[in-house]
Amino acid sequence: MKLAYSTASPYVRKVMIVAIEAGLDSKIEKLPMAVRPDQPSAALAADNPLMKVPTLVTDAGDKLFDSRVICGYLDSLHSGAKLIPESGSARWQALRLEALGDGITDAGILVRYELGLRPKELHWKEWIDGQTKKVIQGLDQLESEAASLSGPLNIGQIAVACGLGWMKFRNVFGDVLATRPKLAAAIAKLEERPSFKATVPQG
Q: Does 127 bind its own copies (CB under 8 A)?
A: yes
Total residues contacting its own copies (rule CB under 8 A)?
50
Secondary structure E strands in the chain: 2-5, 29-32, 55-57, 63-64
Sign of CA dihedral 27, 96, 7, 168: negative
Residue type, 5: Y
At residue 63, the 3 state secondary structure works out as: strand
Distance CA 23, CA 80 (A): 9
Residue 169 near residue 12, CB atoms below 8 Å: no
Which helix (H) or strand (E) segment holds residue 177: the answer is none
Out of 13, 14, 68, 168, point to the residue binding its own copies (CB under 8 A): 68
Q: Does 118 bind its own copies (CB under 8 A)?
A: yes
Residue type, 133: K
Which of 123/197 has CB closer to its own copies?
123
147-186 positions binding its own copies, by CB under 8 A: none
**Alpha carbon separation from 119 to 89, 116, 129, 198 (Å, rounded):** 45, 8, 17, 34
Which of 45/200 has CB closer to its own copies?
45
Q: Does 122 bind its own copies (CB under 8 A)?
A: yes
Q: Does 103 bind its own copies (CB under 8 A)?
A: yes
Kindly indicate which of the ranges 24-32, 44-52, 166-174, 187-195 contains the residues binding its own copies, using the contact rule CB under 8 A. 44-52
Out of 27, 32, 140, 175, point to the residue binding its own copies (CB under 8 A): 140
Out of 37, 116, 181, 194, point to the residue binding its own copies (CB under 8 A): 37
Residue type, 9: S
CB of 48 to its own copies, least distance (A): 8
**Alpha carbon separation from 161 to 13, 158, 196 (Å, rounded):** 10, 5, 9
What residues make contact with its own copies under the rule CB under 8 A? 37-40, 45, 49-52, 58, 60, 62-66, 68-69, 72-73, 76, 87, 89, 92-93, 95-96, 98-100, 103-104, 107, 113, 118-119, 122-124, 126-127, 129-131, 133-134, 137-138, 140-141
